């Protein structure tokens, strides 16, 4: 007896604007799902900017599915403690993440952002990442989306993903359309607010005899809260025997407005030039640090950091309500820019990529109605966690800020009972989605992962297709 089935609909061609962590991960996921895509990056080359970041159990299962878990562990360094101190060295807060290992089944890691970026870039064939492509126009017609770049080129696809950061050109053009149609919420029309500027960098490989702390592979990362200056800074020792560092300056309302106006005059993104970076280095170079021989200052770190690895950026904070329209959808900082104090910005962006990849795998067809439904499901799944991450980052940023609110928040965190901290960690690590279209990695955590609708939807289709393939092979 013969049976006939309708052939599956062709997968969408996805245009991804932005080769940051979220955009690259989405590209790598679509590569595994056999969904065609192209990534457009406005920079001409990859710049090794950035400090360090914490990426642990919330993504390790997906890294195993992708086959990059071992490579990630090679470039990352385990950690359990985050310690906050005063300039004098007096400890004011210690946050122990060791319990999270048992809760989710994986260690926590610190990784240099440039190395992590390269790891994700390596998962995408070079011909699928086009550099020097600044998107200027977006148009939809004949059931397609078309983009035009500054070099005069045009590209066509079924879906456009804006993963191009806080000052997303895709979002700006999308919102222009929605504003004309009277469909853009008032809060989405407001400028990106920020209270802080941030200087980041990474040193060259350091001498073990000078920086003896590098010998301890479990050395905590330490945040120093300056006594009478509007700065806090964090130093991370890495698996490459370097120090990644981040210095945050808090601004009052007047200086913030002035800096914002200056920034918009100079560029159309949140990165400032070398002159501004050097000025902040000069402002902070005499602040003492705990690493080294105990007599060093930040100047000793700056002297060991090449200027091409130093950058000054604004720390915008905003959660947008509108994430999609038509065949265009936003991801990561383009729709939710979190304060880095919470350490959840990159993870939230990558969770966006995982949910979107699962849903695109399960997309029934490339019709406008099916795409609209898919984007609705994406927003329904990802908006609540983005809100939680945004609010959590706000709380942690208050701990590190000055004033009575910061003091009260710090006091609460310092004397928080162990059971409450365990509950907070459990709530964080349960949000560890998986890829429904790849064999699932074993989950050994004591806290069950939250059910992800997008993962389950992709898994159901994956198993259906696998069963059909097995049946066909046996006939």
What pLDDT does residue 382 have?
A: 96
The SS3 assignment for 349 reads helix
The SS3 assignment for 415 reads coil
pTM of the model: 0.90
Q: Which two structure tokens, joined as six digits, stand for 94?
A: 């210690």
pLDDT mean by block of 10 residues, the chain; 475 residues: 55 96 97 98 82 89 96 94 86 87 90 94 97 94 95 97 93 94 93 81 92 88 86 92 91 54 46 70 91 88 90 84 97 87 78 98 96 98 90 62 62 76 84 94 87 95 79 46
Contact between 11 and 156 under an 8 Å Cβ cutoff? The reply is no
Q: Which two structure tokens, joined as six digits, stand for 128?
A: 């699928």
The SS3 assignment for 141 reads strand
Q: Is CATH 3.60.110.10 the classification given to domain 14-47+58-76+107-191+318-474?
A: no
Report how far residue 244's alpha carbon sits from residue 299's, in angstroms, rounded to the nearest whole number.
14
Report how far residue 437's alpha carbon sits from residue 442's, in angstroms, rounded to the nearest whole number.
15
Contact between 55 and 111 under an 8 Å Cβ cutoff? The reply is yes
Tokens 């045009």 label which residue?
154
The 8-class DSSP code of residue 262 comes to: H
**447: CB partners within 8 A, 6+ apart:** 103, 104, 426, 429, 430
What pLDDT does residue 262 have?
A: 52
Report how far residue 287's alpha carbon sits from residue 267's, in angstroms, rounded to the nearest whole number.
30
What pLDDT does residue 36 have?
A: 98
The SS3 assignment for 179 reads helix
Q: Where in the chain is the domain with CATH 3.50.50.60?
A: 14-47+58-76+107-191+318-474
Q: Is 189 exposed, middle or buried (0-12, 13-18, 19+ CB in 10 A)?
A: exposed
């Amino acid at each position: 007896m013969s049976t006939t089935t309708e052939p599956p609909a062709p997968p969408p061609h996805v245009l991804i604007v932005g080769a940051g962590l979220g955009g690259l991960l989405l590209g790598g996921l679509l590569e595994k799902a056999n969904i065609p895509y192209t990534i457009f990056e406005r920079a001409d080359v990859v710049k090794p900017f950035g400090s360090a970041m914490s990426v642990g159990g919330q993504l390790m299962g997906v890294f195993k599915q992708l086959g990059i878990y071992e490579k990630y562990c090679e470039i990352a360094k385990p950690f359990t403690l985050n310690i906050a101190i005063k300039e004098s060295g007096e400890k004011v807060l210690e946050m122990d993440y060791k319990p999270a290992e048992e809760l989710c089944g994986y260690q926590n890691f610190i990784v240099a952002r440039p190395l992590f970026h390269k790891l994700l870039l390596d998962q995408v064939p070079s011909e699928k990442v086009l550099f020097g492509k600044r998107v200027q126009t977006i148009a939809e017609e004949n059931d397609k989306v078309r983009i035009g770049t500054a070099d005069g080129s045009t590209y066509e696809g079924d879906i456009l993903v804006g993963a191009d950061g806080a000052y997303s050109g895709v979002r700006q053009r999308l919102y222009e359309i929605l504003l004309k149609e009277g469909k853009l919420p008032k809060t989405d029309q407001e400028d990106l607010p920020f209270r802080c500027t941030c200087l980041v960098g990474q040193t060259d490989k350091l001498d073990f005899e000078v920086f003896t702390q590098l010998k301890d592979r479990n050395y905590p990362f330490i945040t120093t809260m300056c006594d009478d200056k509007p700065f806090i800074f964090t130093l991370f020792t890495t698996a490459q025997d370097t120090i990644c560092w981040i210095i945050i300056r808090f601004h009052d309302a007047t200086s913030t407005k002035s800096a914002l106006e200056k920034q918009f005059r100079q560029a159309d993104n949140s990165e400032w030039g070398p002159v501004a970076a050097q000025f902040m280095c000069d402002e902070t170079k005499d602040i003492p640090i705990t690493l080294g021989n105990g007599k060093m200052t930040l100047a000793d770190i700056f002297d060991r950091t090449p200027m091409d690895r130093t950058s000054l950026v604004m720390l915008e904070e905003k959660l947008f309500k509108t994430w999609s329209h038509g065949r265009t959808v936003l991801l990561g900082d383009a729709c939710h820019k979190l304060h880095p104090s919470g350490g959840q910005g990159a993870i939230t962006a990558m969770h966006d990529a995982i949910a979107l990849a699962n849903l695109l795998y399960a997309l029934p067809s490339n019709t406008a109605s099916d795409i609209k439904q898919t984007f609705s499901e994406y927003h329904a799944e990802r908006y609540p966690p983005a809100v939680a991450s945004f609010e959590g980052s706000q709380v942690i940023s208050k701990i590190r800020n000055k004033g009575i609110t910061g003091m009260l928040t710090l006091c609460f965190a310092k004397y928080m009972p162990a059971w409450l901290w365990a509950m907070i960690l459990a709530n964080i690590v349960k949000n560890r989605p998986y890829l429904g279209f790849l064999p699932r990695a074993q989950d050994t955590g004591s806290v069950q992962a939250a059910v992800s609708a997008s993962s389950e939807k992709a898994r159901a289709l994956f198993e259906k297709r696998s069963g059909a393939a097995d049946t066909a092979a046996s006939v």
